[in-house]
Amino acid sequence: MTEFPTLKIAMVGPRGVGKTSVLVSMYDELEEELADYGCNFVAENRTARMLNEQRRILTTTASGRKLRMNNKVGIKASTELREYDFSLNITGNKGATLNLQFVDMPGEWYLKSDSKMVDVLSQSRASLWVIDATALMEDDGDYNSSINEPKSIYNAFKMAFKDRDSGRHDIIMVLARAETYLQQDRNGNNRREELLQKLSHTYKDHIKRLRSQLKDNFDDLIDVCCVETMGNAYFSHFKDADTENPQAEFILDTKKGYAPNGCSRPLRAALLLTLAHALGIAKKGFSMKKIGYDGKHFARELRGTIMQAHRRREPWWETLLRMFGGVPLSDAIAEAICKMAERIKDDDYSEI
């Protein structure tokens, strides 16, 4: 089996918004899903040890009755750079291995405009911009600036890509800890649309400036997905609200336990968007939301484009080599990604 250079994805967000928790839950969901497509999604030994320990913490935390987000309960916020390495290959050792690396940067790097942060972002093919949904939604969003620090994140992207010919870079905004707004009440209603409208209203100026200043690196649309990081944590109130360190308290559904949901959406988006742009089928206004309207049609288009390249005897993977920054895909892995597209529903993603 031939191995190729690594596709890097940056985990973006200040300390304590839930980046590591999203990553743990994302791996758990994708490992099972990709197995259905005949793929192995494998964590490197060091990464597996870190994920197992963090999963244990999440599972133990989810079995309690209350949760306070104060870095003393749950997964401790990262204070140093962490690299999580995975490989995606086909069962039976057929074709190439796609190596993936998620880079989780310390939140302090954004406040200090650290040069290492600029290097990570500019070298990454995509960014998962993780946002604490409760800070965005509750108490009129009074704590969004202090907890999610949108201005610092905007400045990080600006520094990383201004005056750089870094090629295309996909941003997927990930609304984490969103159980309170996604799960249905007794009448079958939820607050998903309210959450998405709040995001659009709060971040529209930052997104507008990103588009105008970095138009060579970004599309007109930025994809958004909501995830239930633990699956059983429901917002109650902010404690110490009058201090510089407000702490969100959650009520936990002990019967449900640790049950993350939707956490595979960020990586699915990064893979599909990259493949679509590499093959030239992503037109202006292309987004994951539009794939969700007819995932089977999108998959057929992908397969047709690959077949045309074969008939012309064109090594289409050379295009992917350029787009991924050195990571070509075998036909078998491309087919697995097509199958991922077929499962997407129209409410899995939104756009801003």
Please report whether residue 43 resides in a domain. yes
Q: What contacts 259, CB < 8 A, 6 or more positions away?
A: 62, 228, 230, 231, 232
- What is the predicted pLDDT for the residue at 324? 42
Give the phi and the psi of residue 335 in degrees, each rounded to 5: -65, -40
Contact 229, 69 (CB under 8 A): no
Q: Residue 234, Cβ neighbours under 10 Å: how many?
A: 16
Q: What's the full length of the chain, in residues?
A: 352
Domain that holds residue 162: 3-263
- What is the predicted pLDDT for the residue at 136? 95
Q: Residue 158, SS3?
A: helix
Please report whether residue 193 resides in a domain. yes
- How many structural domains does the chain have? 1
Q: What contacts 264, CB < 8 A, 6 or more positions away?
A: 26, 29, 30, 33
Cα 239 from Cα 241, distance rounded (Å) = 5
Q: Which of 9-23, 84-98, 264-278, 300-314 has the highest mean pLDDT?
A: 9-23
For the whole model, what pTM was predicted? 0.85
Please report whether residue 55 resides in a domain. yes
| Residue 137, burial from CB neighbour count under 10 angstroms (0-12, 13-18, 19+) | buried
Contact 85, 99 (CB under 8 A): yes
- What is the predicted pLDDT for the residue at 325? 40
Q: What contacts 222, CB < 8 A, 6 or more positions away?
A: 171, 172, 173, 207, 351, 352
Say which residue the tokens 């209603």 belong to: 189
Cα 341 from Cα 296, distance rounded (Å) = 7
Give the phi and the psi of residue 23 in degrees, each rounded to 5: -65, -45
Range from 77-81, 183-187, 224-228, 246-250 carrying the lowest mean pLDDT: 77-81
Please report whether residue 326 resides in a domain. no
Q: Are strands 233-239 and 223-226 parallel, antiparallel or unpaired?
A: unpaired
pLDDT over 70 at 4, yes or no: no
- Say which CATH number the domain at 107 has: 3.40.50.300
Q: What contacts 137, CB < 8 A, 6 or more positions away?
A: 180, 181, 191, 194, 195, 198, 235
Q: What is the DSSP string of 44-100?
A: -HHHHHHHHHHHHHHHHHHTSSEEE-SSSSSSPPP-S-EEEEEEEEETTTEEEEEEE
Please report whether residue 111 resides in a domain. yes
Please report whether residue 349 resides in a domain. no
CA triplet 89, 341, 230: central angle to 5 degrees?
Answer: 80
Please report whether residue 279 resides in a domain. no
CA triplet 57, 12, 18: central angle to 5 degrees?
Answer: 25
Range from 127-136, 197-206, 306-315 carrying the lowest mean pLDDT: 306-315
- What is the predicted pLDDT for the residue at 280? 67
Cα 279 from Cα 95, distance rounded (Å) = 19
In the predicted model, what is the mean pLDDT of residues 223-235? 91
DSSP tag of 18: S
Q: Residue 9, SS3?
A: strand
Please report whether residue 291 resides in a domain. no
Using one digit for the tens of pLDDT, what is the confidence trace for 135-178?
999 999 999 998 899 998 988 888 887 765 656 788 899 999 99
Which bin fits 74, alpha (ψ -120 to 50), beta or left (φ > 0)? left
In the predicted model, what is the mean pLDDT of residues 287-297? 70
Both tokens of residue 240?
């110490």
CA triplet 95, 125, 215: central angle to 5 degrees?
Answer: 140
